[in-house]
Each structure stands twice: as structure tokens, then as C-alpha cells.
Structure 1
């Protein structure tokens, strides 16, 4: 992403990259639900840009506070221009203010410090805020029943975020970040991991295998919930779960010994996921 946050005029029209799993999944939604998801995506992308590339830490913190105020104003009926595209989805789909605020709080975790080997509790909170909170917004737009929708967001958000963490360990280390949990490093004898010491540790594979096993358990729970709900309401969730499972399989198959090549599932495999899950 660019070194500066997206200008306000662009936030309302920001779209996911064509060809991405998210783009494919959202394109298959009915128009009103698709446009609502694009508005949520634009919000998430904008606050993510602030957290990652928004300048000095105090500048990023101040801008995230402005986003918090904008969300509060949106729910008070006085939306700022950059959140106005969310007004319709909030009303139509009953989106919760706290979920938007949770997303901002998750981005703030990256903005206030470089996360390095968080506790498992902190990592789970991070996953809930940056991924499952987005899921809670999404399942309401998808039209899922409340109870199963919240459960799906809980499991799928963690599955996708843990997949991202395993896929991006080298890129994150270049930023001075390490999202793999402290307890797993301590179990293999590394008491105070840094990004460099962790990624060169001879037992890194054990740490990553443990995180991968947790992600796989969340995928299994995700598919169980999807299986008992209508295909129309779970179409996007099925596509995302199917595609991201391929990413997880690919990094596990590649292994963890350096140098770790960037992996991407084959095009035919992704097409297979789209054909299998993209048709109601």
C-alpha cells in the first residue's frame, strides 16, 4: 500500500483488487449487499493504511481517534463525508457501531507499537478486532441468522488472520513485527523472541505448525457452521474459506526453512474453488 492514507475523496470508492479472493467473493453478492461490502471494505482499508503507513505514531493515533469520532457521528445521524457510504448499509443491515470501533481498535494495536511475539491472549484479541469484527459486519450483510453468523465470524476471522500471519512472517519481520505467539516460542526454548531470532530459530517449524493447527481447527468449525446454513447466505464465506484454505495448505507444504519463497495457490485450484462455491 502507499505511504499515505487514502484521500477522503477516494475512500468511498475504494475497491478490492480485481482477481483477489475477496473481490471474487463480493462480486457474486446481490448488488445491494455487494455495495454494502465495498463500503465496509473501503473503511477497513482506510484505517489499515493509517495503522501501517500513516506517519509517526502520534499522527496515526490521532487519525484513528478521528475515525472513532466519525463512526460515533455516523450513528448519531451526522456522518462525515468519508463515512457517509456506510449510512445506508448500517440502516439496511443493522450493522453494529461496536464492530466498527473494534476494527479501529485492532488497527490501533499496530499503530501504537510494533507487535512482537504477543501472548496468545493478545493475539486472539488482535484477530478478533482486525478480522472477526469485520466478519461480524459481513455476516449481517450476507443475511445469516444472528447466532450462527456471530459464530462464523468468530471462527472464520481467526482462520483467515492466522493464515495471513503464517503467509506473511517474512514481510512482517521486515516491518519489525512478529505475530506468532510468545508461548509457542517459549515452549521451544526461545524466551525473548525478536523477529530475527524467531525466524532463524531451528525450531521455528514447530511454532508455525502449532499456529497452522489452530487455523485448521477454525476452518473445520467454519465449514461446520456453513454446512448448516443456506448456500445463498454463505456463498461469500464459502469462497473466502475455500481460497484461504489453499493459502494455508500452500505454506504448510512449502515448509518453514529459509529462504521461504512467497507462495500462492495455483490458478486452477482457485478457479476450482470459485466453481465449487460460487454457484448457489
Structure 2
């Protein structure tokens, strides 16, 4: 199996909305974004699939060393070999890839966030940095596009947090800011024990409103000159905003179920959004 095949399988197996967003890209850009996505999946899986925090920390340290090897021209892993092939064409700074690992390490160090400011740092590292790297791969002529990419990454991560409240709680993690739980009178125990309430629904509607605000802010900052190049982000935004609508329509029942869209529906949204440009 070639490094490119490995990354393709990693991306396709996830069923992520991210995968559907770059189906229509030209081959060289699709190879680059698939390699980046496979890297993100590898380091994310370290945290999600490893129950021993020390072992997970050791694996993330290995990935840091592998990034050093990549930029020294001697990568060992299929994902870093795939990244090596695209580095001459696309500016993917090592510092930003390391920041993604920094974000994953936050999951090993804390399971609660006091306020949105603290959560924002996590979202920046695990999602906005990915958005900035993706914007470079898709291509841009205006630096305002990077602000769009930053805010779109925030919106995506907030959507993930909303969708995965119950799943994260079963891992002992609560990403919803504690000061907001207090404001809406939702005890942490209600989330950990999957107790849905009217207060919880109101709390989640507040989270959805914030995510929608980031989507709107991102779209307002995308220069028209870069809109066509950045269509993969617009595709993913269309899919994720549809997901938010579904969650809200279901009454924010995210503690005991994980709302998702079918692959066919994602493909339809992706095609429709791509055609519209």
C-alpha cells in the first residue's frame, strides 16, 4: 500500500464531513488535504482510543519526533511520507502541525473548561489551525481568507462539541464551559448521567447560536476572489449547518444519541454546494 493509499483509506473510513468536502478537488490538492486529514485522524485517534494517558502522551511524543523527521527529509510513517510528497507545493509549517498535537495533549491534561475563553484555545489548536492549513492547500490570494478559515474552524469544532456531548460525557469529558452550565442551571452530573432537561435544551440552543454566529462571521470575511478556491470549506459548512439544524429540530437530544447525516445526504449537499460555488 502506498502512503497515498493509506491516507485515502484513513479518510474514507472515518465517514467524516471533511472527507466529502474535498471529493471534487483537483488531484494534487486532494492528495495534500487527504494527507493533512489523515495526520489529524492519527493524532486524534491516539487520544480517543488509548485508555492510558501516559501511553497516549508517549505516542503523541512519537508524532512530534516524526514531524521533526518529516521536515528533516526522513519520515517513517505512511502519513508523513504522504505529507513529504506535498510539502514542495504547499506551505504547511511544522509549527502549525505541532499545535494540532498541542490541542490533542489538552485532552490528556483536562476534561473541563471553566469558560469560553479557555475552550477557545482548545478549539483553535484542534480546528482553527487545521482550517488555516487547509486554506493554504485550497489556495488564496487575500489574507482575509485566513481570518475566514480561523473562524470556520472554530464553528466546526463547536459543532462537533454540540453533536458529541453525550459521547464525550461517557469518556468523562465535558467541553461545555462550566460558567455557562452554571448560568443555565445545568449540573455537570446531569451531563455525565445523561439527564435531559428544559434547562439543558436552553443551554444547547445557546451553544448552537454561538456556532451559527461563527459560521456567519466566517462567511462575511471570505473575499469573493477566493470563494471558488475555498469551496471545500463551504461544502463542509453546508453539511455541518444542516447537522446543527437537525440537532435543534430534535430538541437538542444529544445526551443519548449522536445526530448524523447519511452519506447520500452529505454527498448531495456537497455536490449542490460545489456547483453553486
Superposition TM-score tier, normalisation by shorter sequence: 0.7 to 0.9
Cα 1:177–1:239 change in 2 (3 A) is same
CA contact (8 A) 1:140 1:149 kept: no
Could you say which residue in structure 1 is the equivalent of 2:123? 127
Separation in 1, partners of 2:11, 2:99: 21
2:91 aligned with 1:94, yes or no? yes
Separation in 1, partners of 2:220, 2:195: 34
2:100 aligned with 1:66, yes or no? no
CA contact (8 A) 2:99 2:125 kept: yes
Could you say which residue in structure 2 is the equivalent of 1:248? 244
Separation in 2, partners of 1:187, 1:145: 43
CA offsets 1:136-173 (integer angstroms, 9 cap, x no match): 11110000236223212211111111111111111111
| Root mean square deviation, CA, Å | 2.7
Residue 78 of structure 1: SS of its match in structure 2? coil
1:17 to 12, 16, 32: 12
Could you say which residue in structure 1 is the equivalent of 2:147? 151
Q: Comparing 67-76 with 29-38, which one deviates more in the overlay? A: 67-76
Q: How big is the shift at 1:227?
A: 5.7
1:172 to 168, 172, 175: 168
2:225 aligned with 1:229, yes or no? yes
Cα 1:261–1:145 change in 2 (3 A) is same
Structure 1 unaligned residues grouped into runs of 5+: 1-7
CA contact (8 A) 1:226 1:238 kept: no
Q: How big is the shift at 1:222?
A: 2.1
Once the two structures are superposed, the pairs formed by residues 20-39 of structure 1 within 5 Å of their partners are 20-39=16-35
CA contact (8 A) 1:36 1:141 kept: yes
Separation in 1, partners of 2:101, 2:5: 19
Q: Comparing 228-237 with 216-225, which one deviates more in the overlay? A: 228-237
1:84 to 81, 84, 100: 81
TM-score (norm 1): 0.86
Q: Aligned pairs, how many?
A: 272
Q: How big is the shift at 1:211?
A: 1.2
Q: How big is the shift at 1:130?
A: 0.9
Residue 180 of structure 2: SS of its match in structure 1? helix
Residue 181 of structure 2: SS of its match in structure 1? helix
After TM superposition, the runs of 4+ consecutive aligned structure 1 residues lying more than 6 A away are: none
Q: How big is the shift at 1:194?
A: 6.8
CA contact (8 A) 1:106 1:130 kept: yes
TM-score (norm 2): 0.87
Could you say which residue in structure 1 is the equivalent of 2:46? 50
CA contact (8 A) 1:140 1:146 kept: no
Separation in 2, partners of 1:24, 1:41: 12
Q: How big is the shift at 1:63?
A: 0.9
Separation in 2, partners of 1:102, 1:177: 21
Structure 2 unaligned residues grouped into runs of 5+: none
Q: How big is the shift at 1:90?
A: 2.4
CA offsets 1:60-109 (integer angstroms, 9 cap, x no match): 10110111121122223333334121113222111111110111111111
Separation in 1, partners of 2:93, 2:109: 25
Once the two structures are superposed, the pairs formed by residues 1-16 of structure 1 within 5 Å of their partners are 12-16=7-11
Q: How big is the shift at 1:43?
A: 0.8
